[in-house]
Amino acid sequence: MTGRTVSGASSTFSDIIADPAIRDRWEKVRRYFFLRESTYDMTNRCNIRCEGCYYFTGAKQFASENLDETAWQDLMTAEKARGITFAVLAGAEPSLVPQLCRICFEHIPLGAIATNGLKTIPKEIDYRIHISAWGNDRTSKETRKADDMLARQMANYQDDPRAIFVYTFTPHNIDEARQVTGILADNGRQVTFNMFSAPVGYQGPLRHTPDSLTRTGKMMAELLADYPRTVLFSQYNIVAHTSEKGLHDLFSCTYPRMNPSTAIGLGRSFRQYRTDLQWDRDAACCVPDTDCSDCRHYAAGSAVVTARMYRHATGRETFAAWLDYVDTYLAVWVRGYTKGASLLSYPVTPPESQ
Amino acid sequence: MWYSLLALNKIADDTLVAHVMVNESSPWFSGHFPDNPILPGIAQLNMTADVIALSKQENLCIKRLSRVKFKRIVRPGERLEIRTQAAETPNLYTFRITSEAQDVCSGTMFLAAKTATDKSLMTIAIDKTIIRIAEIIISELKLEDVTPATLDPDLDLVDEVGIDSMDLATIALVIRDEFGIRIDEDDYPKLTTIRIIAEYVDEKQNSGE
């Protein structure tokens, strides 16, 4: 999807935030600037095996598990001490080690867990729960080798305000997104969108093409319009995640893997711990072993786009687009944060670096 | 003289104690503030530097301040005790001003010989760029217990104040507006102290960018 190109005339920041709607949203989101994330692989096991799974690519899948709760307590204490305020628990399947998830929550009370949703995570672990959906049940059966996934996921997280579904678009499940979103809407659930991003070296059928990106953007826009209370997304999310350019080419990725600077921001604080509690700066990003040129991953965008506030503050429209993106990001990732109405109802083109 | 030096005693090799009284007729009070006279913080610092210079019989001026805290206002006619202690580093002093045993002001100051080209204390005080940037930072970050005059311009904003990239981007945007300069996206992460920001602003303004 391409966006409306905004005129080149720059506005001052004070002019931009003089707009009451923009100022209110700015004041709302800036209260969360304290969030500093790191991610943690919790176990090297999973109860299903999905085609194209980013975890079972590269070296991290071979890291030995560390199930020593004292070691995890020590790690979380150290993480908190160095300023980490948001924990993302992922790989391979965190629900298999709830005792470790609980330790993370007890030390760092804000966070999110990426899960396939087939095993319920105890309610006292009050993180946002991201439940992955890769199509309807027929497609899930083919891609993930699991039966009745959506029904089982919804049953496991019935009336659970922690839960949000994350629908990953591949070139082959674009049309199914309407059916899945309808089911989720009928059951009072929320969904956000992810893009399959190829692991390094992957040339299989799930890699997006220019045509599939266009069709995905169109479907996202339709669902956003048709299910505004169910879909947590914005027009600018669509632009950022379905452009032919990946996130790195659009916004210059700020994760250590692509950003050598350790002066400030993600390059300074972000770490991606493997299950042996080790981390490697050269591989540190939220989706290690993803091909950076094909990365449109929702988690990557949540950091990469939000970090680029400065370049978006050139005019009312680009800044409003950025605010819509950040508002969406916070609603998807932070428990208790409610997304407001989008400021823009149309897409705009991402600005160049200033 | 806008204050009276009542006593100055060296009670140890490294420690001075002075007693001063701020004259009610001091010109500070006419403008700071009308109908609500308060001795400015900068005047308190000036008195402290004066007593050290006097005891050493040297012509000294303040070169740098750090960790300065103002805890109580000073009214006309108050009698103050100024206590200073030399640190191991030459010309570095910690100081504390009290009034009736209550803390008024404390901090650390670095003094140096005044030369013909040195800025005077008053010039430092009104270094508009540094002060304005400090005001912006205090306002944007909602810092408490610090004023533009006491925020050390050499503090590392990331390591010592604890700000992150989004805060720094916000500060860069406000400074861009305030001074009418262009700040490149690649530049703002390098603007990590108030002094570095002020020098960057001056350079941009001088080059017309």
Q: Is residue B19 annotated as part of the catalytic site, yes or no?
A: no
Q: How many beta-carbon contacts under 8 Å exist across A and B?
A: 52
Q: How far is CA A199 from CA A52, A115, A140, in A?
A: 7, 19, 19
Chain A residue with Cα closest to B174: A13
Instruction: Examine residue A167 and state whether it is found in any structural domain, yes or no.
Output: yes
Tokens 């019989």 belong to residue: B57
Bridge partners (DSSP) listed for residue B84 = B16, B95
Do A264 and B166 make contact, defined as CB atoms within 8 angstroms? no
- Pick from B165, B176, B192: which is nearest to A265 by CB? B165
Write out chain A residues lying below 8 Å of B167, CB-based: 33
pLDDT level of residue B202 (50, 70, 90 thresholds): confident
Largest CA distance in chain A: 57
Q: How far is CA A27 from CA A189, A235, A327, B51, B169, in A?
A: 28, 21, 11, 47, 15
Distance, in Å, from the CA atom of B23 to the CA atom of A160, rounded to the nearest integer, reads 69
Q: Which residues of A touch B (CB under 8 A)?
A: 12-14, 30, 33-34, 36, 83, 261, 263-266, 268-269, 307, 309-311, 313, 353-354
Interface predicted TM-score (ipTM): 0.82
Instruction: Examine residue A19 and state whether it is found in any structural domain, yes or no.
Output: no
Instruction: Examine residue A341 and state whether it is found in any structural domain, yes or no.
Output: no
Chain B residue with Cα closest to A266: B165
Residue B14 burial (CB count, 10 A): 13
Write out chain B residues lying below 8 Å of A354, CB-based: 182, 184-185
The phi, psi pair for A222, rounded to 5°, reads -65, -45
Position A217: which residue type?
G
Instruction: Examine residue A309 and state whether it is found in any structural domain, yes or no.
Output: no
Find the distance separating the first CA and the last CA of chain B, reported in whole Å.
44
The phi, psi pair for B166, rounded to 5°, reads -70, -40
- Write out the residue range of the structural domain in which residue A182 sits: 32-299
DSSP summary character for residue B13? T
Indicate whether A60 pLDDT > 80.
no
**pLDDT average, residue stretch A55-61:** 78
Helix (H, G, I), strand (E, B) or coil at A196: coil
In sequence order, what are the residues at sequence separation of 6 or more whose Cβ sits closer than 8 angstroms to the Cβ of residue A172?
A135, A139, A205, A206
What's the pLDDT score for residue B189?
Answer: 83
Lowest mean pLDDT among A11-25, A286-300, A305-319: A286-300
Candidates B136, B174, B185, B191, partner chain A, best to mutate (most A CBs within 10 A): B185
Instruction: Examine residue A345 and state whether it is found in any structural domain, yes or no.
Output: no
Distance (Å) from the alpha carbon of B177 to chain A's nearest alpha carbon: 6
Q: What's the 3-state SS for A203-272?
A: CCCCCCCHHHHHHHHHHHHHHHHHCCCCECCCHHHHHHHHCCCCHHHHHCCCCCCCCCCCCCCHHHHCCE
Tallying the residues shown for chain B, one arrives at 209
Catalytic residue among B19, B32, B72, B83: B32
Instruction: Examine residue A184 and state whether it is found in any structural domain, yes or no.
Output: yes
Distance, in Å, from the CA atom of A221 to the CA atom of A234, rounded to the nearest integer, reads 8
What is the CATH classification number for the domain harbouring A174? 3.20.20
As a whole-number percent, the residues of chain A with pLDDT over 70 amount to 95
Helices A69-81 + A98-107 axis angle, to 10: 30
What's the pLDDT score for residue A48?
Answer: 85
Instruction: Examine residue A312 and state whether it is found in any structural domain, yes or no.
Output: no
Position B170: which residue type?
T
What's the pLDDT score for residue B79?
Answer: 93
Do B174 and A13 make contact, defined as CB atoms within 8 angstroms? yes
Instruction: Examine residue A65 and state whether it is found in any structural domain, yes or no.
Output: yes
As a whole-number percent, the residues of chain A with pLDDT over 90 amount to 68
Structural domains counted in chain A? 1
B186 in contact with A, Cβ within 8 Å: yes
Distance, in Å, from the CA atom of B146 to the CA atom of B152, rounded to the nearest integer, reads 10
User: In angstroms, how far is CA B181 from the centroid of its own chain?
Assistant: 26
Percentages helix, strand, coil for chain B, rounded to the nearest 5? 35, 25, 40
Distance, in Å, from the CA atom of B14 to the CA atom of B86, rounded to the nearest integer, reads 5
Lowest mean pLDDT among A211-220, B33-42, B191-200: B33-42
B184 in contact with A, Cβ within 8 Å: yes
Candidates B139, B159, B163, B166, partner chain A, best to mutate (most A CBs within 10 A): B166
B174 in contact with A, Cβ within 8 Å: yes
- Pick from B158, B177, B184: which is nearest to A13 by CB? B177
What chain B holds in terms of domains, given with CATH numbers, is: 3-115 (3.10.129.10), 127-207 (1.10.1200.10)
Highest mean pLDDT among A41-50, A313-322, B50-59: A313-322
Q: Dihedral of the CA atoms B103, B109, B115, B120 (nearest 10)?
A: -50
Distance (Å) from the alpha carbon of B120 to chain A's nearest alpha carbon: 35
User: Considering only CA atoms, which of B23, B12, B17 is closest in space to residue B82?
Assistant: B17
What's the pLDDT score for residue B125?
Answer: 37
Chain A residue with Cα closest to B180: A12
Highest mean pLDDT among A43-47, A233-237, A282-286, B50-54: A233-237
